[in-house]
Amino acid sequence: MTTSKLQNKGVVFALATFCCLLWGSAYPGVKIGYSLFNIQTTGAQVLFAGYRFTLAGILTLIITSVFYRKWIIPRKNELKGMITLGLVQTTLQYIFFYVGLANTSGVKGAIINASSTFFAILFAHILLKNEKMTQAKVLGCVLGMIGVLIIQVSGPKVDSSFSLMGDGFLFLACIASALGIVLTRIFTKKCDSMILTAYQLIIGGLVLVIGGLTMGGEITQITIQGILLLLYLAFLSAVAFTIWAVLLKHNPIGIIAIYSFMIPVFGVVLSGIFLEEQFLTLHILLALVSVSIGIWIVNKK
């Protein structure tokens, strides 16, 4: 697509919504994967993440090579960005994400994920000259974070306690994700979005694999259902990260970040459906409304 098409509101809405749907489905997908592969240790969780993202990077690289009709080899001046983004957006984010999600519910994890939008706006203000913080953004961030905190209120089938290895790690995953968004915006100015996505996923995924093996992780239970789920998780990562990188290259962070509120919405609904978790309680609905209003205020004209 041309730059003008990628900046079209309808196109942005369709592509960003599709990405958020895919990412939202990862919440129940990962937890189901733990069951199918009988993953119980932290090392195995990290190893599982490594397999997923290494495979996602390989899929992206194959698709990119077919698109350009040649095998893509990165230039030397692109390696620094690929390594940096791979370590931040893939390795760090998903170490925290996989371990955190294993220690909390899919519904709760999806709500906490919404805070990544506000961290992204903050980092963009600090690192990018044309992304300034305003009063509206501050008010929106406050409302959004209130929404995230509402999830801690007691409710049926939703644990109201705070867990460092669960909720805390998911917040750290949000920080890594937000920093990755800003770095993607910076690095895609000098590197093709698809190529950057492919190699950052491979690099970050391989580091996760090495980390998981070093921690003594192993996956001993292999089933057809588990392999199919792993392929789906790799596919959604390849597609969503590639589309998101393209959108960030052609649009300001604020315009794209507004759609991130749909990730917890999709995550809550899909977790409720596939994991049979409680997701229609009053405090969860209030949290979603508050987060959504906060993001709308941050990004409204």
Model confidence, pTM = 0.82
What pLDDT was estimated at residue 156?
A: 43
The per-residue pLDDT for 155 is 45
Q: What is the pLDDT of residue 231?
A: 95
- Give how far Cα 115 sits from Cα of 17, 58, 297, Å: 18, 30, 14
Closest CA to 90 of 199, 190, 168: 199
* 154: confidence class by pLDDT, cuts 50, 70, 90: very low
Query: With 90 as the cut, is the pLDDT of residue 140 above it?
Result: no
User: 121 and 254 in contact (C-beta within 8 Å)?
Assistant: yes
- The confidence band for 160, taking pLDDT boundaries of 50, 70 and 90, is low
User: Over 70: is that where the pLDDT of 107 sits?
Assistant: no
The rounded distance, in Å, linking the Cα atoms of 36 and 167 is 23
Q: What are phi and psi of 155, to 5 degrees?
A: -165, 165
**Which two tokens mark 3?**
């730059």
What does the pLDDT average to over 102-123?
A: 76
φ, ψ at 158 (rounded to 5°): -120, 120
Nearest residue to 115 via CA among 283, 299, 257, 285: 257
Q: Rounded mean pLDDT of the chain?
A: 83
pLDDT of residue 30: 86
The number of C-alpha atoms within 13 Å of 48 and in the hemisphere containing its C-beta is 30
For the segment 121-143, the average pLDDT, to the nearest whole number, is 79
Indicate the domain borders of the chain: 3-299
Residues 205 and 56 sit within 8 Å (Cβ to Cβ): yes
d(C-alpha 149, C-alpha 111), whole Å = 9
Please check the confidence at residue 148 and state whether its pLDDT lies above 90: no
The angle formed by the CA atoms of residues 263, 84 and 113, to the nearest 5 degrees, is 20
131 and 122 in contact (C-beta within 8 Å)?
A: no
- 120/301: higher pLDDT: 120
Q: What is the pLDDT of residue 122?
A: 83
Which of left, alpha, beta for 31 (phi over 0: left; psi -120 to 50: alpha)? alpha
